[in-house]
């Protein structure tokens, strides 16, 4: 099957996909703010350049796109009709890189939480519970 877009159009579309400040990431940051948590963004010195970092508690949150990181949901199982071999290899390399980065974080004493894009779409209460449970910081005085 051929692509409905030209190579140039497809390249432009793919190049405009952001890695930072995505809609799912902004939703997670909004939840964190409502819960009263303070955090840092995109610490390049940590393996995997986590999206959200809690330095004092040595915890990070990755907000992963389901498609790009091959989540087991319906969005992560999408198979492109054009150039499918390339995209499969690309996505598998993302998964492999993630595994290496997660292991490196664990080795240096950091804990991680992965929030999937699909988790930010419908049930914000469930997402809020997941984040609050992960951070395990119940007192407002300890939320810095």
Give 22-60 as a DSSP string: -HHHHHHHHHHHHHT---EE--TTSTT--SEEEGGGTEE
Domain membership flag for residue 30: yes
Domain membership flag for residue 60: yes
Q: For the chain, what is the domain count?
A: 1
This prediction has a pTM of 0.82
Show the domain range for 30: 20-142
Domain membership flag for residue 5: no
Domain membership flag for residue 33: yes
Domain membership flag for residue 35: yes
Q: What is the CATH number of the domain that holds 101?
A: 3.40.960.10
Domain membership flag for residue 72: yes
pLDDT (tens, 9 = 90+) of the chain, 144 residues, equals 555 657 666 555 555 565 667 899 999 999 999 999 999 998 888 999 999 999 999 999 999 999 999 999 999 999 888 888 998 999 999 999 999 999 999 999 999 999 999 999 989 999 999 999 999 865 444 444
């Amino acid at each position: 099957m051929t692509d409905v877009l030209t190579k140039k159009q497809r390249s432009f579309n793919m190049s405009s996909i952001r890695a930072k400040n995505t809609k799912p990431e902004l939703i997670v940051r909004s939840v964190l703010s409502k819960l009263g948590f303070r955090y840092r963004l995109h610490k390049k010195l940590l393996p995997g350049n986590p999206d959200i970092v809690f330095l004092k508690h040595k915890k990070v949150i990755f907000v992963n796109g389901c498609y790009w990181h091959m989540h087991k949901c319906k969005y992560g199982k999408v198979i492109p009709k054009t150039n499918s071999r390339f995209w499969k290899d690309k996505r598998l390399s993302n998964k492999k890189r993630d595994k290496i980065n997660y292991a490196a974080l664990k080795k240096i004493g950091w804990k991680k939480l992965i929030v999937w894009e699909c988790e930010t779409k419908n049930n914000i209460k469930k997402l809020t519970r997941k984040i609050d449970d992960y951070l395990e910081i119940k007192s407002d005085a300890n939320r810095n």
